[in-house]
């Protein structure tokens, strides 16, 4: 355990594209930013494989590689990085204070919140029981274990379709189970899904239960329910991937700044400014519409520019 205090003009929480891009801009503006990252530096992009929509790369690149590049770039231009879990935050004082799990505290004349979002779960007891034993929210992390097996992917958005496509590299059969009869995913991804002979889609079904053995814990099937007829059906399979969206990582900020009903941080129009002057929010923590690496990076850039302006305008705050 350490017990140090660190002060910076720009304190950044989060190490996804938003946090790292904010760090690059703040460092290049001579503001010596400090960036705090948790146990998984790089954020959601580190559990993505192929990235073909981040501009600047004509060949497919890998998410973890892209994040390592951004981190190296941020450090090279002068960002100080700390691994710590922030356990409390005080926005009522100035400078703002973040207390870490290491017992370090970090103070910032401005604060950029870029803590991102995390995978959503169905909330079934059987899902909790088999998490890590056949139930996963990350195909790129766990797909390898399903070589020549049958798996299901739950959801109908981009994530679900990408996970299903990725899993065909390992599994023999991938069943996409969706609660409606149309997908939310982009057309190009839908086309790839429907063209892939290893993928079956089961429409209009919700997951009732994940079935498995106790000792050792292992998934053997899925019980699904038709959303209108209520008819139940069981499918034999070896793994279930949940891909039903994300929730913003904002528990720590609850009651301290304005948020919407879903917990996304509210920001001013065309700005990353939150309800607390000097505190800015960038990336998925404030964006439930676009949620792309490139838009997260863009709002990270905006947050750094706005933080620099705030510091210049409040030299003696
Ligand atoms: P989305 O919110 O887009 O989709 C979630 C899906 O899960 C929906 O189809 C939804 O169903 C379904 N769902 C939600 N809750 C439940 C539940 N309790 N039971 C069953 N199904 C449920 O999330 P994604 O993670 O797919 O995408 C998030 C954002 O990230 C999007 O903006 C997406 O475009 C983007 N993204 C972009 C990628 C890329 O460009 N390469 C890759 C991955 C994500 P319903 O449709 O009925 O609401």
- pLDDT tens for 210-268 read 999 998 899 999 999 999 999 999 999 999 999 998 899 999 999 999 999 989 999 99
Test site for ligand 1: of 48, 55, 159, most ligand atoms within 8 A of the Cβ? 159
Look at residue 278 and tell me whether its pLDDT is greater than 80: yes
HSE at residue 216, side-chain half, CA atoms within 13 A, is 4
Q: Which pLDDT does position 168 carry in this prediction? A: 97
- Residue 301 is among the residues annotated as catalytic for this protein: no
Residue 25 has φ and ψ, to the nearest 5°, of: -70, -40
- CA dist., res. 181 & res. 195, Å (int): 17
Look at residue 157 and tell me whether its pLDDT is greater than 80: yes
Q: What is the mean pLDDT of residues 64-78?
A: 97
Look at residue 184 and tell me whether its pLDDT is greater than 70: yes
Catalytic residue, candidates 101, 141, 191, 260: 141
Q: Which pLDDT does position 38 carry in this prediction? A: 85
Look at residue 317 and tell me whether its pLDDT is greater than 70: no
Closest by CA to 8, choosing from 92, 21, 17, 29, is 29
What atom in ligand 1 is closest to the CA of residue 158? 26
Ligand 1 near 109 CB (within 6 A): no
Residue 309 has φ and ψ, to the nearest 5°, of: -65, -45
Q: For the chain, give percent helix, strand, coil, nearest 5.
A: 30, 30, 40
Average of per-residue pLDDT values in the chain: 94
- Residue 93 is among the residues annotated as catalytic for this protein: no
Percent of the chain with pLDDT over 70: 98
Q: Which pLDDT does position 49 carry in this prediction? A: 67
Taken in order 145, 245, 269, 313, is the CA torsion positive or negative? negative
Q: What is the mean pLDDT of residues 164-178?
A: 97
**50-55: long-range pairs with CB below 8 Å, 24+:** 51/293, 53/292, 53/294, 54/293, 54/294, 55/294
pTM: 0.78
Quick one: DSSP state of residue 209?
Answer: E
Contact status, residue 279 vs residue 257, Cβ threshold 8 Å: yes
- Residue 98 is among the residues annotated as catalytic for this protein: no
pLDDT tens sequence across 25-56: 999 999 999 999 987 788 888 866 678 889 99
């Amino acid at each position: 355990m350490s017990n140090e205090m660190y002060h910076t003009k720009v304190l950044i929480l989060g190490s996804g594209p938003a946090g790292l891009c904010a760090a690059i801009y703040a460092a290049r503006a001579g503001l010596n930013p400090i960036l705090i990252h948790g146990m998984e530096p790089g954020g959601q992009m580190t559990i993505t494989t192929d990235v073909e929509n981040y501009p600047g790369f004509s060949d497919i690149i890998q998410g973890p590689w892209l994040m390592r590049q951004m981190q190296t770039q941020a450090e090279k231009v002068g960002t100080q990085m700390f691994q710590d879990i922030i356990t409390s935050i005080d926005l009522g004082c100035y400078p703002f204070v973040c207390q870490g799990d290491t017992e370090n505290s970090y103070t910032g004349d401005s604060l950029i919140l870029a803590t991102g979002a995390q995978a959503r779960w169905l909330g079934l007891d059987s899902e909790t029981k088999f998490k890590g034993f056949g139930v996963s929210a990350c195909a790129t992390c766990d797909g390898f274990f399903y070589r020549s097996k049958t798996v299901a992917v739950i959801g109908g958005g981009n994530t679900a379709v990408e996970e299903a496509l990725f899993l065909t590299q390992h599994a023999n059969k991938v069943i996409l189970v969706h609660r409606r009869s149309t997908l939310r995913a982009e057309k190009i991804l839908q086309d790839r899904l429907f063209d892939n002979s290893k993928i079956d889609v089961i429409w209009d079904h919700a997951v009732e239960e994940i079935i498995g053995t106790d000792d050792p814990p292992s998934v053997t099937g899925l019980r699904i329910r038709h959303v209108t007829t209520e008819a139940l059906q069981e499918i034999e399979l070896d793994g279930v991937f949940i891909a039903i969206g994300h929730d913003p990582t904002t528990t720590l900020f609850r009651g301290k700044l304005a948020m919407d009903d879903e917990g996304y941080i509210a920001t001013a129009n065309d700005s990353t400014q939150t309800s607390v002057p000097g505190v800015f929010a960038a990336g998925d923590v404030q964006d439930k519409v676009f949620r792309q690496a490139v838009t997260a990076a863009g709002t990270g850039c905006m947050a750094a520019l706005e933080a620099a302006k705030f510091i210049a305008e409040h030299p003696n705050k």
